[in-house]
Chain A
């Protein structure tokens, strides 16, 4: 299906999907920027919530429900709060702030700029046929939860177990403290 034909067959839902994509993308990018710029821990956490939530929204748009909710429950609901909790408890006071040294800022800006240039040039170069990839709609191919679960317990059992062990180890290390 070429892009012109795709444009003609668009329903209201497709337009809404587009709109939702831009909204979620904007939330993600803006919050990600906020995470980098903000010096206040709790605000950073809030921005991080925005980023994670925005990306989860994008997953939902791609019909990857499982990834989306796992993103929300593991990162937004669990890890993020643990981070905030840890920082608030271990710092001098809960009203703590980040003050990274200048060298780190420069380094981070350099790396970020490099990646930005890389991705932008790749996008604009025409090397990748985005339209052709877009036709491979995730709706048709993405596995359902049951399949994902089955794959985790058969094909990918070893990585899954390793992952669990890592979680267990982290848990033990945490309780020892």
Chain B
């Protein structure tokens, strides 16, 4: 057997760059695998090039740009009111929050903020938090799917359906709402909206407990996620992570708790990764932060709905929103999106059309940690890690 020469077929790496092929030829037993852009576990068109040794992943390099739509450049050609639908299409799982971030940035820039009524603010909070629940439901469901549990996914979508029904009743759309807009919200709440939302919350709250029984505290699930993909607090801060990924690493930072966020009067907690099942900052922590945040959002929505009752009849859409002239000034404003801090930079030049619009997407910034975390893990862990970071490629590529 000793004299038997083993030769590899030369053409197996034809789809790789020449550098990579050279590297491949020098080393033995390693294989370069393209995970994506068409792969079930990469949540869209993320492409991760894996350098593997058997089942071990030595290196994972994310490649992005397959969904680039010039979202920022478009912002320089249209008025802010017209740009709102484009923000929907960035993080398409959290359209309301994206609308909110851009609308508030523009309102702050033009000084329209002071004229927004109390009712509008409350409606915005209700919708932003409902959308946070919807987005976390997708994240929770697809995370189960990444780890091979099919059923939680359909449960999550069943519940999300009710939220989408609520959205549809308010604005007619189920995915790209453009409901929250510059100057307020496009329409007042429909009849019985508050009652139905309360019904939904009563129904939804015990469901979270069911998810915990089904998935969060499942032994196999814990074995798959605890101590996997650990991001320490320092690393998380170094990489500029935000949202559940940052909080999963044990850093208690939520923009909603900062002054000026509009959430000052609400009583809610910020769930932080405790390392309950493994190390602080592992996949399970990031996952459970999302699940707990859904319950916190329920709390916020309940409070907001109570306050909404006393604001009947207030104006919800300011007329000036459509005809705004942006001052020759600039602003950077960010809010807490389901995935982290979503910021918009807007610079006006005195006309209706901004000079520059730039978005700081949480998915994009969170994605950069993939390469660091996916070192020396197993192939199955890559799906677990990417799922726990929860990226939306629409926003990464913009």
Contacts and interface: CB of A to CB of B under 8 A. Distances in A.
Contacts of B70: none
Contact of B6 (A97, A101, A104): A97
Contact of B4 (A93, A95, A99): A99
Contacts of B7: 92, 96-97, 99
Interface string A129-156: 0000000000000000000000000000
Nearest to B9: A95
Nearest to A101: B3
B331 interface: no
A120 interface: no
Q: In this complex, which of B8, B31, B54 has the most chain A Cβ atoms within 10 angstroms of its Cβ?
A: B8
A104 B31 CA distance: 31
Interface string A95-118: 111111100100000000000000
A173 interface: no
Given A100-B3, A104-B3, A95 B8 contact: yes
B12 interface: yes
Interface in A71-96: 87, 89-93, 95-96
A93 B9 contact: yes
A92 B3 contact: no
Interface residues of B, number: 12
A87 B5 CA distance: 12
A93 B31 contact: yes
B12 A96 contact: no
A174 to B, nearest CB: 16
Given A89-B54, A90-B29, A100 B4 contact: yes
A10 B241 CA distance: 84
B23 interface: no
A92 B4 contact: no
A98 B3 CA distance: 10
Contacts of B31: 93
Contacts of A91: 6, 8
A91 B9 CA distance: 12
B11 to A, nearest CB: 9
A97 B9 CA distance: 8
Contacts of B4: 98-100
Interface residues of A, number: 14
B28 interface: yes
B240 to A, nearest CB: 39
Nearest to B27: A92
Interface of A is mostly: mixed
A92 B28 contact: yes
A87 B8 CA distance: 12
Contacts of B3: 100-101, 104
Contacts of A100: 3-4
A92 B8 contact: yes
A100 B12 CA distance: 23
Contacts of B8: 91-93, 95-96
B215 to A, nearest CB: 33
A89 B12 CA distance: 16
Contacts of A95: 8-9, 12
Contact of A99 (B5, B9, B28, B54): B5
Interface in B3-47: 3-9, 12, 28-29, 31
Contacts of B54: 89
Contacts of A87: 6
Contact of B29 (A92, A97, A98, A104): A92
Interface centre among A91, A92, A101, A104, by most chain B C-beta atoms within 10 angstroms, is A92
Nearest to A95: B9
Nearest to A93: B8
B5 A93 contact: no
Contacts of A90: 29
Nearest to A97: B7
A59 B4 CA distance: 33
Contacts of A92: 6-8, 28-29
A9 B28 CA distance: 64
B31 to A, nearest CB: 7
Contacts of A101: 3, 5
B255 to A, nearest CB: 49
B6 to A, nearest CB: 4
Contacts of A104: 3
A87 B4 CA distance: 11
Nearest to B11: A95
Interface in A1-57: none
A91 B3 CA distance: 14
Interface of B: 3-9, 12, 28-29, 31, 54
14 contacts: A89-B54, A90-B29, A92-B6, A92-B7, A93-B9, A95-B9, A96-B7, A97-B6, A98-B5, A98-B6, A99-B5, A99-B7, A101-B3, A101-B5
Given A92-B7, A100-B4, 11 more contacts: A87-B6, A92-B8, A93-B8, A93-B12, A95-B12, A96-B7, A97-B6, A98-B5, A99-B5, A101-B3, A101-B5
Closest 10 CB pairs of A and B: A93-B8, A91-B6, A95-B9, A92-B8, A96-B6, A99-B5, A92-B28, A97-B7, A101-B3, A98-B4
